């Protein structure tokens, strides 16, 4: 029975989880893969930190050159993160004929085209289950389980850190910065946590998911992206009053005008299953023409859940090597040369309902002036709340929910409103998705 040899680069959070599973579940994995899976190398520049479990003598190294030159290695696992040198190492491994497994969504969202093309040319596989939604097998579900479907919608809560922050702010009113620090301690956050908070990490994941789901090569520039850093406890409290949860939602929809791809804080009805996804949990809600609506749910970050997804790819590739079936399932669900250029719907063409929180002077006529501008731009108010002021001269919040309006009109109206002297800080805007129940 052929033994499959693995080299793992990056012995950090996910690398440790992956190594633990490969070492501690060796017998189980051998039974399932139909061949022994041998962790031959763990490579990291830090050889001293205690990762909480012991590794067999001789496999931990900082000599990447030696690992790359080892012709017995079949699968190279990249878990260092970031664009460079990860891109160079991955391409090098592929050109040496090694299969690659990575959790690096940033790398795939930015250099995916080059990596998948090089893999295709070299006849090797690239596994990336861990790059979206941590431990949840969303990639395999879209690529294989839903192969019979035209997928029209992918909605996701895809960033554990952002969801953890919003959940704790909602439930406990804990300030943003303190919750972020706790997410970092738990190993959920990216090396640069602004990626989590500003929606960049979610955009990386939506680029990967929508490439798979819609068969077009989606890049970061194709996705409108807004993060959660401006969300205040006040917005969360108002949302709750109106029967909504605020989530950092990844939205991918096939529409007549093209692909609607965006990430922003979104109000979703309390009754929708996505509203119940809390903490570092992720979920992905998919609509296919045959299957209907489905939702996948689980831990979207963390050492062991993400390690679980990495090892799933390793076993898939090992099975294919053993059976001489490499490439049986194309990495992106369709042959690389059949990917299309995307046709995108401009963000300005969006229509929907909106939440506005105006921060204004408390004086007569303010409400009428704001409502007047909204009326001028065809924006109809659905409900309106004004809370009392905290201090004599301080701003007061006026909150409005709109009926369906055009994004282009909303932008023009808010530009005009925010330039008025009665408006004390930029208006907070949150888009509302009136999702059908699952």
Q: Verify binding: residue 188, ligand NDP, rule CB under 6 A.
A: yes
Query: Tokens representing 142?
Result: 């879209």
- The partner in contact with residue 161, picked from ligand HSE, ligand NDP, none with C-beta cut-offs of 5 to 8 angstroms by kind, is ligand HSE
Decide: helix, strand or coil at residue 129.
helix
Whole-angstrom distance, CA of residue 179 vs CA of residue 169: 8
Q: How far is the CB of 55 from ligand HSE (least distance, A)?
A: 24
- The partner in contact with residue 159, picked from ligand HSE, ligand NDP, none with C-beta cut-offs of 5 to 8 angstroms by kind, is ligand HSE
Query: Tokens representing 366?
Result: 């303010």
- The partner in contact with residue 348, picked from ligand NDP, ligand HSE, none with C-beta cut-offs of 5 to 8 angstroms by kind, is none
Residue 328 and residue 320 in contact, taking contact as beta carbons nearer than 8 Å: yes
Helix (H) or strand (E) run with residue 304 in it: helix 303-323
Q: Could you give the string, one character per residue 281-310, with x where binding to ligand HSE holds by CB under 6 A and - elsewhere?
A: -------------------xx---------
Q: For the chain, how far is it from start to end, CA to CA, in angstroms?
A: 46
Which one of residues 30, 78, 196, 226 is an interface residue with ligand HSE (CB under 6 A)? 196
Whole-angstrom distance, CA of residue 65 vs CA of residue 198: 36
Q: Verify binding: residue 188, ligand HSE, rule CB under 6 A.
A: yes
Q: How far is the CB of 302 from ligand HSE (least distance, A)?
A: 8
Whole-angstrom distance, CA of residue 289 vs CA of residue 150: 6
Q: Which stretch binds ligand HSE (CB under 6 A): 68-76, 80-88, 182-190, 363-371?
A: 182-190
Helix (H) or strand (E) run with residue 152 in it: strand 151-157
| Non-local CB neighbours of 229 within 8 Å, separated by 6+ positions | 176, 197, 198
Catalytic one of 205, 254, 387, 415: 205
Q: How far is the CB of 135 from ligand NDP (least distance, A)?
A: 9
Q: How far is the CB of 106 from ligand NDP (least distance, A)?
A: 6
**CB-nearer residue toward ligand NDP: 13 or 402:** 13
Total site size for ligand NDP, rule CB under 6 A: 25
Helix (H) or strand (E) run with residue 23 in it: helix 13-24
Residue 86 and residue 61 in contact, taking contact as beta carbons nearer than 8 Å: no
Q: How far is the CB of 391 from ligand NDP (least distance, A)?
A: 42
Degrees, nearest 5: CA angle 104-246-229: 60
Nearest CA to 262 among 278, 248, 277?
248
- The partner in contact with residue 104, picked from ligand HSE, ligand NDP, none with C-beta cut-offs of 5 to 8 angstroms by kind, is ligand NDP
Q: Which stretch binds ligand NDP (CB under 6 A): 39-47, 212-220, 229-237, 259-267?
A: 39-47
Has 26 been annotated as catalytic?
no
Q: SS3 sequence, 58-84?
A: CCEECCHHHHHCCCCCCEEEECCCCCC
Q: Verify binding: residue 190, ligand NDP, rule CB under 6 A.
A: yes
Q: How far is the CB of 70 from ligand NDP (least distance, A)?
A: 16
Q: What is the DSSP string of 388-424?
A: PPSSSSS-EEEEEEESSEEHHHHHHHHHHHHTSTTEE
Task: List contacts with ligand NDP (CB under 6 A).
Answer: 10-15, 44-46, 79-81, 85, 103-105, 130, 134, 187-188, 190-191, 301-302, 306
User: Would you please indicate which residues are annotated as catalytic (active-site) residues?
Assistant: 205
Task: List contacts with ligand HSE (CB under 6 A).
Answer: 134, 159-161, 188-190, 196, 201, 300-301
């Amino acid at each position: 029975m052929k033994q499959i040899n693995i080299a793992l680069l990056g012995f950090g959070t996910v690398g440790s989880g992956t190594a633990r599973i490969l070492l501690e579940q060796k017998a189980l994995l051998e039974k399932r893969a139909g061949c022994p899976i041998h962790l031959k190398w763990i490579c990291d520049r830090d050889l001293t930190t205690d990762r909480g479990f012991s590794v067999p003598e001789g496999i931990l190294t900082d000599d990447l050159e030696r690992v790359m030159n080892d012709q017995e290695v079949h699968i190279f696992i990249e878990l260092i993160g970031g664009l460079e040198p990860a891109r160079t190492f991955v391409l090098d491994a592929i050109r040496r004929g090694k299969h690659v497994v990575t959790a690096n969504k940033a790398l795939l969202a930015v250099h995916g085209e080059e990596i998948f093309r090089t893999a295709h040319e070299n006849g090797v596989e690239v596994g990336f289950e861990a790059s979206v939604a941590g431990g949840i097998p969303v990639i395999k579900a879209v690529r294989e389980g839903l192969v019979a479907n035209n997928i029209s919608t992918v909605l996701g809560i895809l960033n554990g850190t952002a969801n953890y922050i919003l959940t704790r702010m909602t439930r406990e009113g804990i300030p943003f910065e303190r919750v972020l620090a706790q997410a970092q301690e738990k190993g959920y956050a990216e090396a640069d946590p602004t990626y989590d908070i500003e929606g960049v990490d979610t955009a990386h994941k939506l680029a990967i998911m929508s490439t798979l789901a819609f068969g077009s090569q989606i890049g970061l520039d194709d996705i409108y992206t807004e993060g959660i850093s401006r969300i205040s406890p006040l917005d969360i409290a108002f949302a709750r009053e109106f029967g909504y949860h605020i989530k950092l939602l990844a939205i991918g929809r096939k529409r007549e005008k093209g692909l609607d791809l965006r990430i922003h804080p979104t109000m979703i009805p309390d009754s929708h299953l996505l509203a119940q996804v809390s903490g570092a949990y992720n979920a992905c809600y998919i609509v296919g023409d045959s299957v209907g609506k489905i939702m996948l749910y689980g831990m979207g970050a963390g050492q062991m859940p993400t390690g679980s997804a990495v090892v799933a790819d390793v076993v898939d590739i090992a099975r294919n090597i053993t059976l001489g079936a490499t490439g049986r399932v194309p990495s992106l669900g369709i042959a690389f040369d059949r990917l299309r250029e995307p046709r995108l719907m401009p963000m300005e063409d969006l229509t929907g309902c909106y939440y506005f929180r105006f921060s204004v002077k408390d004086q007569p006529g303010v409400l009428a002036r704001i409502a007047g501008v909204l009326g001028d731009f065809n924006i109809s108010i659905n409900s309106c709340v004004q809370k009392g002021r905290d201090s004599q001269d301080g701003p007061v919040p006026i909150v409005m929910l709109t009926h369906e309006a055009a994004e282009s009109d909303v932008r023009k109206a808010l530009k005009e409103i925010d330039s008025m002297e009665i408006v004390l800080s930029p208006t907070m805007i949150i888009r509302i998705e009136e999702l059908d129940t699952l």
